Amino acid sequence: MNLEHYIGGAHVPSVTGATFTALEPATNKPYLTVSAGGPEDIAAAVAAARTAFTEGPWPKMTGEQRAAVLRRIAAAIESRDDEIAARECRDTGLPITQARGQAHRAAHNFRFFADVITTLGEEVYRVASAQLNYVLRKPVGVAGLITPWNTPFMLETWKLAPALAAGCPVVLKPAEWSPASAGLLPEIMEEAGLPTGVFNLVHGIGEDAGAALVAHPDVPVISFTGETTTGQIIMRNAADNLKALSMELGGKSPLLVFADADLDRALDAAVFGVFSLNGERCTASSRVLVQEEVYDEFVERLAARASRVKVGAPSDPATELGALIHPEHYERVMEYVRIGTEEGARLVAGGERPAHLPEGNFLGATVFADVTPKMRIFQEEIFGPVVSVTPFSTEAEALELANATRYGLAAYLWTNDLRRTHRLAQSIEAGMMWVNSQNVRDLRTPFGGVKASGLGREGGHHSIDVYTEAHIVHLATEDLPIPRFGAA
């Protein structure tokens, strides 16, 4: 299979003819040839999107008109659920059952933002009978969307839906390690009747295509999800053109378990929170902090559950943990397993390739106990099926441990003490927090992190804010006094 760019309504190869090869994570064998975009391809895509913005109908449509197209996109996604899931499964190594769930969420993203744009109000401020001040939301222009390799299709739609709802034409740059499912987007957009040039897709390496998109002067807004170091580079490169940025970056999210918690449910959440999606998720609860009174019991039960997590072929419906995305990433995760052992953490589950999977990027669900804050496996994002467990004695110590990394994306708290819940909710340094719950998303709420986990928020009207500018009109409804300089 070959994937080309999609620019101005046409499938086209790279200007230079360059390509790259995608690997199947379960075997590490090449299976897909992809056009490798560069500055010339990005320039062509931005030009097509810019024309769609200045001359096309999309930005001038009513919210209801755009919403109708978004609902047709959702329907087109749903009609391809199985194909999207199959591509994602093969391309990323995600278990097929979890890939199907991500395909369903992708359709929901478009339906949700169709509803948002038809119900979103604009601000009006009246000054008695003398003045009326109102705020218009105007699409900002061409939106540059740079998406990660984990759950790619769902995360692409999480950016595409609000950008299109707001009236912005887009240039999407998918991750080079998982480009396959994005290849379905052109036919989906065409089937839904999206005007030509509103959606553009350029494949390529981040340092080439991604960097060119960030640097292009006709792209006023960049939405990026990915690793923190890349986010820092994007921020520096966007400074010359003062671009608006929305960035969801890395995470090292804590899951705090107090002795009074429902330990059965907390255990379920801990296992699911770090081993679902192969552990390759920014909001993974990769640091489990457990109160001393129940620490030994919890570690023993967590290790036992991890040892029973089914690692297998991504296409097998019984698989719970599939193949990591790429051999480079696999080696990175395995290096952290070696680091954890060398630093003195106690390996109580996993840590090696399952014997029945001799090829591909497979790792058993891995648990380290007795992890201290100075250890790298406590501090650094591993982005794989590896969890560290650390004991604490008091609420104050739990808070100190929760905040002891540079990240601040998500946090999870398990306790039945209501007062403690409110105290910690105000003190834990995280953009989002779940109490006595796994990561259940409400798309109306702001999504994003603090510290090294990003800047800006997306979700509900917060996403529309990313892709629009506020235009304020002050209208005098009476003759307001004007100082008459020079009239004497």
pLDDT at 1: 75
Q: What's the rounded Cα separation, in Å, for the pair 487 and 52?
A: 49
- Number of Cβ within 10 Å of residue 38's Cβ equals 19
pLDDT at 488: 79
pLDDT at 460: 93
pLDDT at 324: 98
DSSP 301-323: HHHHHHHHS-B--TT-TT-SB--
pLDDT at 450: 97
Provide the percentage of residues in the chain whose pLDDT is more than 90.
Answer: 98
pLDDT in tens, 96-122: 999 999 999 999 999 999 999 999 988
Token pair for 229: 């170091």
For the stretch 449-472, what's the b/e string if a residue is b when 16 or more beta carbons lie within 10 angstroms of its beta carbon?
bebbbbbbbbbbbbbbbbbbeeee
Rounded to 10 deg, the angle between the 96-119 and 81-92 helix axes is 120
Residue 476, classified by CB atoms within 10 Å of its CB into exposed (0-12), middle (13-18) or buried (19+), is exposed
The domain over range 2-249+453-473 is classified in CATH as 3.30.70.100: no
pLDDT in tens, 328-357: 999 999 999 999 999 999 999 999 999 999
Average pLDDT value for the chain:
97
- CATH code: domain 254-435 is 3.40.309.10
pLDDT in tens, 174-216: 999 999 999 999 999 999 999 999 999 999 999 999 999 999 9
Chain centroid, CA 112 distance in Å: 17
**Domain residue ranges of the chain, discontinuous segments joined by +:** 2-249+453-473, 254-435
224 phi and psi, to 5 degrees?
Answer: -130, 135
pLDDT in tens, 152-161: 999 999 999 9
Residues of the chain with pLDDT under 50: none
**Residue 55 annotated among the catalytic residues of the structure:** no
Q: Which position among 88, 156, 248, 280 bears the catalytic label?
A: 248
CB-CB contact of 199 with 186 (8 Å): yes
